[in-house]
Amino acid sequence: MKMGDHDDRQIRDALKHAFPPVNSELARDLWPDVLRRLDARSVGIPWYDWALVGLSAVVFLAFPRLVLLFAYHL
């Protein structure tokens, strides 16, 4: 047995002692909490989205040929 093996074993033992094994089993099922949070979330549209929609409508009503320009580029 080489000296390096002994050092590696000491380091491995020290790490195992410092960091005990983690319990990977969940204490409970998380899926119902996820569903509850998704149902509780309300989708709100910010005011600036409404402002952009209104501004776009005003621009398209004032300059109807812009609709053709944008349609051409799609």
Domain that includes residue 73, residue range: 45-74
What is the reported pLDDT for 62?
A: 94
Q: Is the pTM of this model over 0.95?
A: no
Task: Determine, yes or no, domain membership for 16.
Answer: no
What is the reported pLDDT for 19?
A: 87
pLDDT tens digits along 17-71:
898 887 777 778 888 998 998 888 777 889 999 999 999 999 999 998 988 888 8
Number of domains in the chain: 1
- How far apart CA 25 and CA 28 sit, in angstroms, is 9
Task: Determine, yes or no, domain membership for 22.
Answer: no
Task: Determine, yes or no, domain membership for 56.
Answer: yes
Task: Determine, yes or no, domain membership for 10.
Answer: no
Angle among Cα 26, 42, 45 to the nearest 5 degrees reads 135
Task: Determine, yes or no, domain membership for 4.
Answer: no
Task: Determine, yes or no, domain membership for 39.
Answer: no
